[in-house]
Chains A and B, each alone.
Chain A
Amino acid sequence: MRSTLIIRTVARVLSPLVLTFGLYIILHGHLTPGGGFQGGAVVATGIALLMVAHPPEYVRKAFRHGVLNVVESGGALGFLGMAILGLMGYTFFRNTIANSGFLLFGEGTPYGINLGTLNTGGTLPYMNIFVGLKVMAGLSAIVLLFLLSKGGDGK
């Protein structure tokens, strides 16, 4: 069954915006409200929109359940790995990258009122990204299972 013209058009216009907004929330998790979970849920919403708008055989080809599972586990393991980084001399969950001068997210945090520097935060942005991956993959896998389950449009 094909979706209606309205759904297809709205999905075409909205899904890039939704996905970008989700990624924005994930990446700015350490500066603005929201974070990995919220951003991941927004990205998954965009993916759900794409899944609904496209025919099932196309969705089945584009999103593989096995791949989503691996991404989900990978996100969780990455999160745990960032926490374990702290065990090198400090404690579990110690933010070892913040203010260390490391290339990504390791810049020193400026003091006082400012607009927020993206390249700070140490392990926090990494954790947000990993949680975002996990939530995005997990929620998408759920929607995919419902969409392609027997009795649905997937046949």
Chain B
Amino acid sequence: MIVEYLPQQFVQNLPALIIAIPLLGAFIAPLLKKHGRAAAGWTVAITGVAFLLAILLMDYVRASQGGMVVYVFGADSPGLTLPSGYTVPVRIMFQIDGLGVLMAFLCTLLPFLAAVYSVGFARKETGLEKYYALMMLMTVGMLGMVLTGDIFNLFVFLEINSIAGAALVGFRNYRGEAAEAGFKYIAISAFGALMVLFSIGILYGKYGNLNIAYLSGVIEYSRLDLIALGLLLTTFALKCGAAPMHHWVPDAYGEAPGSISMMMVISSLSSLYALIRVCFILFGGIVISLPAVGWILIIMGLISMLLGATMSLIQKDIKRFIGYQAVSQTGYMVMAIGVGLAVMGDPVAMQTYGRNALTAGLFHLINDAIYMGLLFLAASAVIYAARTRNMDEMGGLARKMPYTAVFFLIGAASIGGLPPFSGFASKLLIYESVFAFNPVLAVVAMVTSIIALAAFAKQFAAVFLGPPLSNLKRVRESPRSMLIAMAVVAFLTVLFGLYPQLVIDWLVRPAVEAMLNLAGYGAWGGA
């Protein structure tokens, strides 16, 4: 345990620092106007520090009693949830458990790599200080969403995340399509945010409190609460890009600069985190007797998988192609989590395969964030070098960009579920666990994986193999910073594929424990 050797004051305030430091970075970055390189260096440093803090936070949470840390903002001491005389929590607080730590790990790792990648990738753009400021603001939004224990706070951070994300998607405003994609994203985000706000209003009006731990103890099976559940479920499914609400995903992922596409992946996954939090903790008490909620997620997952995979086949734009594949991959997680949710009320089924399905879903979440990130980075490197997004106009790029080709191949093999890459490990776990629930689900999942593999084999051959095209004579390998970022992600893809047990024991199992630990989460809530 590292945290034992650090000053107590510092360790106790880690949950606040992990938000405060990227926020400081985001507020200082706009001052570095016309100093693009300085802004880039500053962002790499800040996001790097945030990543280190996330590692320390993970250690701190693990060492804490019950695997959970509560941080009360503005109180006399961080753990003072109920000062004397109070029977319900009133202050805004962060409540961090294994699941939050898993997400915090991803929500700091990927922005850090995106920042490294941007050093070379974005250096020719203008307005870089705004780009980097928004990037750090988006990191703050994601971190806040995954760490908070207050439902209104969740809404605020969701908004920060969405607005910064929309501005970044439309960052290349000299491309009309980028502005359109950014507008589409902000429109669906605003709509979703209003629905979240409405359901928060319902819960606040009924129970007079906004604390998730408190609410989870008092929520009841009434029509009003079910409306709130439905609104939250729909919004977070929309924001995580599950079909049939996936229409914004290919636009937003496809038009954003490559580093931002990677951040959008993790931003969507933090909405998936919110979905998990709502289903398993906030409404855990009533969802346990409502298998229909699980089935809704399963069906959404099935549609996402098939629709995403088949729609990707007809794409010509390389990043839209990967964007549709991202929809398909989200389907896997939503389905696995839906299976876990559907059997939550059945202890035997939960023990035999429900837990495995949740483990598989979360493990796939980690892997998806990483190999999707890798694919987007590699595809953007190709676009950056070839100056075209159309895959029909590319060919033979492996000769010119050998490293990028290898990284793309690793990502493609991983998403196609080939051993020994990370996608294989988590997909195998998903097949095994959902087969026990209903074999049809496993069949659909396998077919989707085969479609993905075939599609990526074809596209890889079209873009990288064959004779070099005459219009690509002057193409050169990507700048070093882009290669470094891609190499780190590719290394993680291989590492997580070779040693899946490492990640599962280190990150995923505590997260699954936390998901199912409804009683522990609300224990101090005072209800």
Contacts and interface: CB of A to CB of B under 8 A. Distances in A.
Interface of A: 66, 69-70, 72-73, 76-77, 80, 83-84, 86-87, 89-95
Given A90-B75, A92-B71, 7 more contacts: A69-B33, A77-B28, A84-B20, A87-B16, A90-B76, A91-B78, A92-B16
Contacts of B71: 91-92
A77 B13 contact: no
30 contacts: A69-B33, A72-B30, A73-B27, A73-B28, A73-B30, A73-B31, A76-B27, A77-B24, A80-B20, A80-B23, A80-B27, A84-B20, A86-B74, A87-B13, A87-B16, A90-B77, A91-B13, A91-B16, A91-B74, A91-B75, A91-B76, A92-B13, A92-B16, A92-B17, A92-B20, A92-B73, A92-B74, A93-B74, A94-B75, A95-B74
B367 to A, nearest CB: 33
Interface residues of B, number: 21
A76 B24 CA distance: 9
Contacts of B24: 77, 80
B33 A94 contact: no
Nearest to B94: A92
Nearest to A76: B27
A17 to B, nearest CB: 32
Contacts of A89: 9
B72 interface: yes
Contacts of A95: 74
Interface in B7-30: 9, 13, 16-17, 19-20, 23-24, 27-28, 30
A134 B216 CA distance: 37
A35 to B, nearest CB: 16
Contacts, number: 52
B74 A69 contact: no
Interface string B468-492: 0000000000000000000000000
A77 B23 CA distance: 9
| Best-buried of A69, A72, A92 by chain B (most CB within 10 Å) | A92
B33 A91 contact: no
Contacts of A70: 31
Nearest to A123: B74
Contact of B74 (A73, A77, A94): A94
A87 to B, nearest CB: 6
Name the 3 nearest CB pairs between A and B, nearest first.
A92-B16, A76-B27, A93-B74
A15 to B, nearest CB: 28
Contacts of B33: 66, 69
Contacts of A76: 27
A91 B73 contact: yes
Contacts of B27: 73, 76-77, 80
B92 to A, nearest CB: 8
Contacts of B9: 89
Contacts of A77: 24, 27-28
Nearest to B30: A73
Contacts of B16: 87, 91-93
B39 to A, nearest CB: 12
Contacts of B75: 90-91, 94
Contacts of A86: 74
B35 to A, nearest CB: 13
Contacts of A87: 13, 16
A76, A89, A95: most-surrounded residue (chain B CB, <10 A): A76
Nearest to B29: A73
Contacts of B20: 80, 83-84, 92
Nearest to B10: A87
Contacts of B78: 91
Contacts of B23: 80
A90 B72 CA distance: 10
A87 B20 CA distance: 11
A93 B9 CA distance: 15
A92 B72 CA distance: 8
Contacts of B31: 69-70, 73
A89 B7 CA distance: 12
A86 B28 CA distance: 20
A94 B78 CA distance: 10
